[in-house]
Amino acid sequence: MAIYRSSLKTRKGLINAAGELAAEKGFHSVSTRAVAERAAQNIGSIHYHFGSKQKLFEAVVQQVAERWQQSPLEEALAGCDLLTRSGQAQALAIILRRQAELLFDKAAPAWHCRVIYQLMQSPDALQAVFRTAVVVPEREQVEKLLKQIDPDLTEQQIQAHFFVLTAPLLLHADYQKALLRRMGKAAYDDSYLETLLDICTRQTLLALGLPVLADEGLVTL
């Protein structure tokens, strides 16, 4: 049992080291030697636990993807009546809040959201793993909702709405260091994230002609 725990700890340490380095430099710039040194292990341990550098990187991507998969978007929207305008507005608000919670979860390793940015920069096998596991199924659900909100939307308009919906939070994740430096903060506080969510949600709902949500119910502006 002690040997198993030690092996599991080594495996997790290698994934964490590879994730940190990939977040900093991009996957293509990370060597097995650098990962081993960061994890305080020998290079042979990478091949023992994963078989290859590629398999190690796939484990990194899968760890990030699992956080999103453990909070399925379909389940998050299960309580929304998508046949009503208020239910559709509620669904969009939930989509944004869920994205913020996953991107800025203080309990998750700091490198998680930055790895997503790195993955999206290179159309390779690793990006394909993440796109298949997370990006494509989530995008399809959001685009289906947008089409339900306004059946007259063209595919181009749906794509534009999707990018506008998700871009502000992704910007805050991808360029976190630069934005925090400009704000003079060490991290986004809850108050700022709530303000950001409120602005993003209101803009999206107004653009789609949906009622704007308020704490006391629904108000139309």
The predicted-structure confidence for 98-135, as pLDDT tens digits, reads as follows: 999 999 998 999 899 899 999 998 889 999 999 999 99
- Could you please state the CATH topology (level 3) that the domain comprising 71-215 is classified under: Tetracycline Repressor; domain 2 (1.10.357)
Average pLDDT value for the chain: 91
Angle 190-194-200 from CA coordinates, rounded to 5°: 145
Name residue 214's beta-bridge partners.
Answer: 217
Name residue 218's beta-bridge partners.
Answer: 213
CA–CA separation, 176 and 156 (whole Å): 29
CB 88: neighbour CB atoms within 10 A?
Answer: 22
Looking at per-residue pLDDT, the higher value among 213 and 162 belongs to 162
- Tell if the pTM clears 0.85, that is, is over it: yes
pLDDT of residue 217: 45
What percentage of the chain carries pLDDT values higher than 90? 86
Domain with CATH 1.10.357.10 in the chain: 71-215
Tell me the average pLDDT across 20-49. 95
For 2-57, the fitting CATH number among 1.10.10.60, 3.40.50.300, 3.30.365.10, 1.10.10.10 is: 1.10.10.60
The answer for residues whose C-beta is within 8 angstroms of residue 153's C-beta and 6 or more apart is: 146, 147, 161
CB 168: neighbour CB atoms within 10 A?
Answer: 18
CA–CA separation, 162 and 57 (whole Å): 28
Domain with CATH 1.10.10.60 in the chain: 2-57
